[in-house]
Amino acid sequence: MARARALLRVFIAVKVDEPSLVARVRQLQEDLTRVGLKAKLVEPENLHITLRFV
């Protein structure tokens, strides 16, 4: 039986830790979830801006 290969996501990013921005993104995520968005959202403590995928 073949084994599934693990997906390794490598990227260069800048961490976003400005409290007011994190709070706004958290609110936006809650709003999107409430209206039925089907997506995997990043946890607020892992919020970042991806600059480049490697």
In a domain, 5, yes or no: no
Structural domain that includes position 38: 11-53
Higher pLDDT, 48 or 3: 48
pLDDT confidence bin for 5, thresholds 50/70/90: confident
Six-digit token pair at 24? 């706004």
Six-digit token pair at 4? 């599934």
In a domain, 34, yes or no: yes
In a domain, 15, yes or no: yes
Check whether 52 has a pLDDT greater than 80. yes
Q: How many domains does the chain have?
A: 1
In a domain, 23, yes or no: yes
pLDDT at 39: 86
Angle at 16 between CA 13 and CA 19, to 5 degrees: 175
Check whether 10 has a pLDDT greater than 90. yes
